[in-house]
Amino acid sequence: MASNIPFYRGKDVVLKFYQNGKPVTLLAKNWSVEEDAVEAADGVNGEDRDRLDKVTNFYRATVDIFLADQEVMQAIIDAQVPDDASTLPLKQTGAIQIRHRDGTKAAYLLKEMKAGPFTKNQGGRTDPVMLTLKMRFRYFSPVQTI
């Protein structure tokens, strides 16, 4: 990659959320994705250094969402219903789309996702109401872009 290409910015990256194949609009202010992994160090039979490894458990995402309506809250409530009834959970998937500044694109699929705890935040009189949503997923996989 050429060194003179500008870095991509927040405006160039989109996080998407789907529940049972239906898109749920996330008006994200900011978000992060983090790998949950165990760093292993195995001391082997008198070797002078440990053998290093990493074992990935899963991934987690945290999203701070502006609330324009109740679409996201309703999706969370809808997902809770089968959980409470001990029936088949709703399928949840995420996607990250990146538009690089050189015109190329990249995308990642967040598979086997489960929306987790949320926090609804209200600030002062003129502050937007925010929702912080945590999600976990098993796989972070690149997908072909068009």
In a 13 Å sphere around the CA of 75, the CA atoms on its Cβ side amount to: 24
Question: What's the pLDDT at 3?
Answer: 75
Buried-exposed string 76-94: b where 16+ CB fall within 10 A, e elsewhere: beebeeeeeeeeeebebbb
In a 13 Å sphere around the CA of 27, the CA atoms on its Cβ side amount to: 12
Question: What's the pLDDT at 5?
Answer: 87
Question: What's the pLDDT at 1?
Answer: 53
Question: What's the pLDDT at 52?
Answer: 97
Rounded distance between C-alpha atoms, residue 68 and residue 36, angstroms: 31
Q: Spelled out in words, what is the top-level CATH class assigned to the domain 10-38+51-143?
A: mainly beta
- Report the 10 Å Cβ neighbour count for 20: 13
72-90 per-position pLDDT tens digit: 999 999 999 999 999 999 9
Q: Domain boundaries in the chain?
A: 10-38+51-143
99-145 per-position pLDDT tens digit: 999 999 999 999 999 999 999 999 899 999 999 999 999 999 999 98
**Residues 93, 99 contacting (CB under 8 angstroms):** no
